[in-house]
Amino acid sequence: MKNGPKPKLAAYRKMLENKAEEVRRSMSAQKAAQVVARLDVPSDEGDLSQQHHEEWIFLNRNTIDMKLLREISDALRRIDHDNYGICMECEEPISAKRLEAVPWARYCVKCQERIAARIADGELVDDYQETGR
């Protein structure tokens, strides 16, 4: 941190950290519930597919949480690099209203809509892009 955080950025950072904490807590709660459920499952082979199914649901839910955590940590990194709140597509500032609703937003509303439309058209994959880092 070169010049110390700006007051507004500090508020966003706090929001992001709180959200990350909330997601992490819900993930470990799910994990605990999963372990408890496991104890009830008799371990004969007939239950195996059911077990796989539960695992799949768990992983799937986990993937969404992991994705969000990654977006949050990226946003925190953008705060550190002084480019937080700048649309990664058009490089215009993202509105404060949007950032307050979605502090980890990477795109302004216009670009987000365009990207969502491209995803709907199958042009883009709705996956967190690892490229362009």
Q: Point out which residues bind Zn ion (CB under 5 A).
A: 87, 89-90, 108, 111
Residue 16 or 94 having the CB closest to Zn ion: 94
State the Cα angle at 64 between 121 and 96, rounded to 5°: 75
In the complex with Zn ion, the residue whose CB is nearer, 20 or 85, is 85
How near is the Cβ of 110 to Zn ion at its closest, in Å? 5
Compute CA distances 37 → 17, 45, 59, 122, whole Å: 30, 17, 15, 38
Give the span between the Cα atoms of 2 and 16, in whole angstroms: 20
* Nearer of residues 14 and 93 to Zn ion, judged by Cβ: 93
In the complex, what is the shortest distance from the CB of residue 31 to Zn ion, in angstroms, rounded to a whole number?
A: 37
